[in-house]
Chain A
Amino acid sequence: MNNEARAGATGLNGMTPDRTAAPIISLRGITKVFGSGPTAFQALKGIDLDIRPGDFVAVMGPSGSGKSTTMNILGCLDVPTAGEFLFKGRHVETLDRDQRALLRRRYLGFVFQGFNLLARTNALENVELPLLYRGEDKKMRYEAGMAALDKVGLKEWWDHTPAELSGGQQQRVAIARAIVTQPAVLLADEPTGNLDSERSVEIMELLTDLNRNSGITVIMVTHEPDMAAFAHTIVHFKDGLVERIQEGEAG
């Protein structure tokens, strides 16, 4: 199976560089309803949002405000009930399950609150995992995996399993796994939620560095204003709608 060909078939590659100023992600009138009939719950009530390439976006809002649902849709893990989702100018809402998986494989990286590393699997093998699904050969996997671990400062720890690493280190491994494919967008769901403030700052500095120096668009959900302060753009959610968008220079 040629995964590049599959991704190509979705029409998502082949972007021209002169359009980089256009939004990489564009949401128009996105709604999401869970369930049906009298128990139906409308989580999103019409989201309009543009995210430009190279931006560092923090998504904030109380629980139940729809930010997690939005993140799932942005991460192509879930589909909207209605509305348009354009990723690099292509419609995502019409893609099927496997096409979305291939899109994630090619363009997206994920960092979760709970790290979500494979247990009993060393750091390098965890980082190599996305490359395995891309069908890369052993040598390439090793080199890219070690380079990604080097970037997060854990090159020396490549053969340690998650159980042998601290929380901060585990999250760094997770970030290395997310960036090993050189994704266009990194989606981070409360990446510092399980860490103390000192480790949190380290992780935020790492994300900022990846955003600035590797040109990766970062979208991050957070509860903490301190963490949101690292972002360039802060999107506030409330009751299934975007309440306001705060733009400024990242601190």
Chain B
Amino acid sequence: MLGTTVILALRAINRHKMRSFLTTLGIIIGVAAVVTMVTLGNGATAAVREQISSLGANVLQLRPGQGFGRGGGGPRPPDFKPQDLTAIENQLTGVRAVAPLVQSSGTGIYEGSNWSTTVYGTTAAYFEVQSWKADAGRLFMPDEEEAGKPVCIIGNTVRTNLFQGNDPVGKRMRIKGVSCQVIGVLATRGQGGFGDQDDVVVMPIKFVQRRFTGDRDISQIMIAVDDAYDTSAVQSSLEELMRERRKIKAGAEDNFNVFDTKQISDTLTGTTTILTQIVAAVAAISLLVGGIGIMNIMLVSVTERTREIGIRLAIGAVAREVLMQFLVEAIVLSCLGGVIGLFLALIASIAIAPLMQVPFIFDVKVNLIAFLFSAAIGVVFGYFPARRAAALNPIDALRHE
């Protein structure tokens, strides 16, 4: 019997191609909108997660002060000392690598070109903490670090702007008026959450302290936690150690803060996920409207086809068969709309993802759910018109003009 109803439904759809298309249009647009939004949203989430993880996985960032801002008045909390670094290295368990960081901005010059950039003073440990490798050349040698030699490793943006495609390794450039030798070029990382990550010149910390900042203070310490250890436990020990070293009395607030990159990552991906859900919910409303569209047209169709229903009933169709025919029609239409919608979503996602600079991620689960949802819409919104058709009295239906 199901075979019969499917044949009847397909014939009816085929007889009214234009009407069938208009009926499904709502579902097509609804499914396409939901799936495209969710797919792009997932891509955006993945992009954010990747950018954050480029800061280094399981990395703790130790800064003076509270939070991002300076926070209120009062004296500026002191920077860290080289002894703090040594203490962290020696006294804290579960630490894979520790890197100090001082920053300074300045202009790099090579032959006729100049480029304003950020100078990082750090050690080779920085690249380990950041899981950042050199594309060309090499990283710092221990003796270069120790002596604070005028060597630098440049980011790709700096290379492009100063060296215009020439190989910079071994060349001498000037940075903030000081001559230094380029020993390496870092791998490209692209736009991060905090601007262009490749717009950077990295030098030994001792050189930066001696020539640019003028003291031995360290403005930031990055700590990579060993995978075998719990990051939050290491964070607690670190906080305890720093309170002790900075002589903070019990009950007083910290004058430093520790950032867990994983925490930032979770917060940011959480935000994008929520945004995706909101946009998807808005798109889902259009799917609902599509379902109502199907019901609308099916109801009109029942009225328009009253005589046809009368013929079928007179010929010997039982009520259930008429109900099934209209129900199957609605389901076939909505499923068809679902498939077309998924196809459009696929095309749209592939086309839009590069424009938004997010990866295209095909999520089978999302597509499957959207399809099943469109089928469910067919059942729900098809049932009422179908029941109305099945309940018609054959005599009245045959008389209908």
The interface stretch among A41-49, A128-136, A229-237 is: A128-136
B15 touches A120 (CB 8 A): yes
Residues of B291-320 at the interface with A, using a CB-CB cut-off of 8 Å, are: 307-308, 310-320
Closest B residue to A181 by beta carbon equals B316
Per DSSP, chain B at the interface is helix
CB-defined contacts of A97 to chain B, threshold 8 Å: 318-319
Question: Taking the complex as formed, is A5 at the interface, i.e. its CB lies under 8 A from any CB of chain B?
Answer: no
The tally of residues in A whose CB lies under 8 Å from a CB in B reads: 29
Tell yes or no: B84 within 8 A of A by CB. no
Q: Which residues of A contact B11 (CB under 8 A)?
A: 121, 125
In the assembled complex, A104 has its CB within 8 A of some CB on chain B: yes
Residues of B within 8 A of A106 (CB): 316
How many residues of B sit at the interface, in one of the four size bands?
20 to 34
B7 at the A/B interface (Cβ < 8 Å)? Answer: yes
Contact between chains at A118 and B308 (CB < 8 Å):
yes
B4 within 8 A of A: yes
B8 at the interface (CB under 8 A from A): yes
Determine if A78 is an interface residue (Cβ-Cβ < 8 Å): yes
B311 contacts A130, C-beta separation under 8 Å: no
Q: Does A98 contact B (CB under 8 A)?
A: yes
B316 pairs with A77, CB closer than 8 A: no
How far is the CB of A158 from the nearest CB of chain B, in Å? Answer: 16
Neighbour of A101 across the interface among B1, B4, B318, CB < 8 A: B318
**How far does the alpha carbon of A106 sit from the alpha carbon of B11 in the complex, in Å?**
24
Is A110's beta carbon under 8 Å from chain B? yes
User: Does B338 belong to the interface (CB within 8 Å)?
Assistant: no
Cβ-defined contact, B4 with A133, below 8 A? yes
Q: B147 at the A/B interface (Cβ < 8 Å)?
A: no
**B315:A133 contact, CB within 8 angstroms:** yes
With A116-B307, A135-B4 known to touch, is A101 a contact of B398 (CB < 8 Å)?
no
CB pair B314 A110 closer than 8 Å: yes
Evaluate contact between B321 and A133: CB separation under 8 angstroms.
yes
* Chain A residues in 8 Å Cβ range of B398: 112, 116
B contact residues vs A (CB 8 Å cutoff): 1, 4, 7-8, 11, 15-16, 307-308, 310-321, 394-395, 398
